[in-house]
């Protein structure tokens, strides 16, 4: 996977670099998702897609640094975000499942749900 796919403006593109570029796009693009969600709610918000993109981008970058480049600095710099994104995604799913089991509606806040009961 280290064969050259194309050379653009002197930059050699290989399949591993393509995976790395996609990882960077995914990892960076998550902030646009967070910005859109926060703009919609008018409050700091981290939707599930943010954590999915964090984990996906980190795993793609880890793949690139482990198999494509064998770079320990890149590996270490992406291990921590992958672990944090995994944990936060787990918490988000668990929180959502607990809320559904308790009868709260999707997208509502606990305060909204309490006011609807009275």
Confidence (pLDDT) at 59: 96
Q: What is the pLDDT of residues 89-112, one digit of tens each?
A: 999 999 988 888 888 765 555 444
Q: Is the dihedral of CA 54, 57, 60, 63 positive or negative?
A: negative
Q: What is the pLDDT of residues 44-75, one digit of tens each?
A: 999 999 999 999 999 999 999 999 999 999 99
Contact 104, 51 (CB under 8 A): no
Cα–Cα distance for residue pair 87/23, rounded to 1 Å: 19
Contact 72, 55 (CB under 8 A): no
For the residues 20-48, what does the mean pLDDT come to?
95
Cα–Cα distance for residue pair 112/99, rounded to 1 Å: 13
Q: What is the pTM of this model?
A: 0.78
Contact 49, 33 (CB under 8 A): yes
């Amino acid at each position: 996977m280290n064969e050259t796919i194309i050379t653009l403006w002197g930059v050699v593109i290989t399949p591993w670099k393509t995976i790395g570029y996609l990882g960077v796009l995914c990892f960076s693009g998550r902030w646009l998702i967070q910005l859109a969600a926060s703009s919609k709610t008018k409050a700091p918000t981290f939707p599930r897609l943010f954590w999915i993109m964090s984990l996906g981008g980190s795993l793609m970058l880890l793949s690139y640094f482990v198999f494509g480049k064998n770079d320990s600095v890149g590996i270490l710099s992406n291990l921590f975000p992958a672990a944090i994104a995994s944990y936060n995604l787990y918490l988000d799913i668990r929180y959502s499942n607990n809320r559904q089991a308790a009868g709260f509606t999707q997208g509502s806040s606990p305060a909204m749900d309490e006011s609807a009961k009275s």
